[in-house]
Amino acid sequence: MKRVKLHDKTFELSIPETEILKSVKAVAEKVNKDYEGKCPLILAVLNGSFMFCADFVRELTIPCEVSFVKLSSYSGTQTTGKVEELIGVNSDITGRDVIIVEDIVESGNTLLKLKSILESKGVASSVICSLFFKPSKLKVDLKVDYPAMIIPDDFIVGYGLDYNEAGRQLRDVYTLCQES
């Protein structure tokens, strides 16, 4: 599909699934090398990262454990700036190496909050692995250790990312069309 309509907005194909999967494999290879001999906890941020996390862990050759956390800071196409913890980390992660898996990093507010939560739980280390990263939108001092793809500031959907909960199931990524 070249274009999709979700609710009241139209989106145009921008990143095909083949390109996404190539980037997922490349970032997983870096993690495999850096975490050789370790067993990190992969902590996926729901809902958006579920597709990325599934493909990412299938590319890992290192032993790992997978868990999930749910934080929210979005309403429609805009970030609210307020991070809510909807599902938290329930297991003991003291002394663990944690790889946070996120769908997209924009302002960084959500991940800064999550890193603070992890530090308070005594993790040995925490790094960020994000499928998409918009460096020009970053508003906080945050390092994205493993960005799979650097993208422009456009609003995107597909491959787990949504617009008001629609479009997560799309295999490709679509960019919001400019309203004329």
The residues assigned a catalytic role are 106
Q: Determine how many CB atoms are found less than 10 A away from the CB of residue 21.
A: 14
Q: Which residues pair with 151 in a beta bridge?
A: none
Left if phi > 0, otherwise alpha if psi is -120 to 50, otherwise beta: which for 77? alpha
Length of the chain: 180
User: Which value, to the nearest 10 degrees, does the dihedral of the CA atoms of residues 101, 104, 105, 111 take?
Assistant: -40
166/153 Cα distance (integer angstroms): 20
Question: Of 125, 149, 153, nearest to 139 (Cα)?
Answer: 153
The burial class, CB within 10 Å (0-12 / 13-18 / 19+), for 138 is middle
